């Protein structure tokens, strides 16, 4: 019985030490600005265009995109014939973005980033999400 109490006491101290270390880790660095202000997450879509973009065309596309609700930023790369758009998914959709680009007689094809092969993280995203969410929950700042 004495041995069981000692084992229970050591286990309790170990769990408590782990929890204290996790709380210290969660509060070690200052939260990001988006976490402090509770900003909505944004989505990124990249479209390739069917042909070259002139300066006038890029201005007109930028104006069409600016008229859409939910778009936070857009970048037109005339040399690479691509448009990068960040937006709030709950306010606009990719189809609406395509329609704004089609209005200028450009065909826009979404770039599929999953087709690119490269180094992959060996840690599953669920594990990373668990750590990030735990860190947010235990942050007192």
User: Quick one: how far is CA 96 from the chain centroid?
Assistant: 20
pLDDT for 34 equals 78
pLDDT at 28 over 70: yes
pLDDT per residue as tens digits for the range 80-96 = 888 888 888 888 888 88
CATH class of the domain comprising 43-113: alpha beta
Q: Where are the domains of the chain?
A: 1-30, 43-113
Distance CA 98, CA 111 (A): 12
Count the neighbouring beta carbons within 10 Å of the beta carbon of residue 76: 21
Give the CA radius of gyration of the chain: 24
Question: Could you write out the DSSP letters of every residue in 77-93?
Answer: ETTTTEEEEEE-TTT--
Q: What DSSP state is assigned to residue 107?
A: -
């Amino acid at each position: 019985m004495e041995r069981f109490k000692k084992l229970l006491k050591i286990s309790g101290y170990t769990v408590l030490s782990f929890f204290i270390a996790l709380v210290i880790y969660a509060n070690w660095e200052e939260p990001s600005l988006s976490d402090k202000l509770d900003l909505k997450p944004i989505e990124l879509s990249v479209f390739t265009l069917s042909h070259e973009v002139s300066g006038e065309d890029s201005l007109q596309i930028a104006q069409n995109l600016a008229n859409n609700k939910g778009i936070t930023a857009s970048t037109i790369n005339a040399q690479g014939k691509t448009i990068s758009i960040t937006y709030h998914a709950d306010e606009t959709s990719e189809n609406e973005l395509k329609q704004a680009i089609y209005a200028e007689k450009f065909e826009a094809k979404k770039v599929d980033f999953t087709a690119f092969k490269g180094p992959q993280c060996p840690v599953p995203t669920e594990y990373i999400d668990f750590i990030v969410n735990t860190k947010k929950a235990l942050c007192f700042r």
